[in-house]
Amino acid sequence: MKKIYLFLFFSAISGTLFGQIKYGPKIGINLSGANLSSPSPTENTNVSSTATLRTSYCLGAMAEARVGDAFAVQLSLMISNKGYNFIEVLESKTEFGNNSSAQTALLKSSVVTNRGTRNLLYLDIPVAFVYKKDLGIGKVFGGLGGYFSYNIWGVTKEKNTYVVGSSFDLSLSSLNGTYDLTVANELSRTDFGGFLTAGLEFDERTQVAVNYNLGLSDTNPGLAKVYNRTVSITVTYLFGDN
């Protein structure tokens, strides 16, 4: 991965020195999610986690350096709002009894359901090596590369439901609560991964693209592993000589 970043970096520098450079604003919509990996279950505990997409935004600027007639290097600097909706269920079992006899011990179980949204703000730096094909009315392009992100801010909003019971007593009790948690110190500040882009270019200036960030870095320092996944639809307008 480091070799890929070095190649793309030096390609960008070469394009900046010798190719035609265009630059301009870039804005778009994010559909962000995550690949969650729950801790391995034990004899008395089991955790299951599911993430769903949330809609957010991205904005910033892009520079494009032409490399030959059909290739270019695109480098962007973006403020990107990411995160995901989640459901986490923790099931635990505890043995208890009135005496030391194992035969009279009861199995008491508890379930905690945690629903919420993780709202994260990143500084994104994606870079891609792009190929363009002229269609007459415009150009179609596609490219691949990588991205590096730095976490600026993060908040989790959660609602927890606790259900406690036992195998011999079917009565249930529940406690509900909602709280906000600033998670800046509970997140890995940096993230990196693969970057894919494809789209259309009109008048050699306006680009409409679909992009995909495939996170390869675990952003959660805890037991569960979290890998960012983001699809974005962006519009870029480039200034500079054609």
- Provide the 10 A C-beta neighbour count for residue 95: 10
Contacts of 83 (CB under 8 A, 6+ apart): 32, 54, 56, 117, 118, 119, 120, 154
Residue 113 belongs to domain with CATH number: 2.40.160
Domain ranges, residue 73? 2-92+107-237
- pLDDT recorded at residue 174: 42
- pLDDT recorded at residue 154: 82
Pairing mode of beta strands 21-37, 225-237:
antiparallel
Task: Identify whether 69 is part of a domain.
Answer: yes
- pLDDT recorded at residue 240: 87
Task: Identify whether 102 is part of a domain.
Answer: no
Task: Identify whether 99 is part of a domain.
Answer: no
Query: What whole-number distance in Å separates Cα of residue 232 and Cα of residue 73?
Result: 19
| pLDDT tens, the chain, 242 aa long | 555 555 555 555 554 444 689 999 999 999 999 998 876 666 667 778 889 999 999 999 999 999 988 999 999 999 999 999 988 887 776 655 555 444 444 455 677 777 888 889 999 999 999 999 999 999 999 999 999 999 988 877 777 666 655 443 333 334 444 444 444 456 788 999 999 999 999 999 999 999 999 999 998 877 778 999 999 999 999 998 76
Tally of structural domains, the chain:
1
Task: Identify whether 242 is part of a domain.
Answer: no
- pLDDT recorded at residue 157: 76
Task: Identify whether 98 is part of a domain.
Answer: no
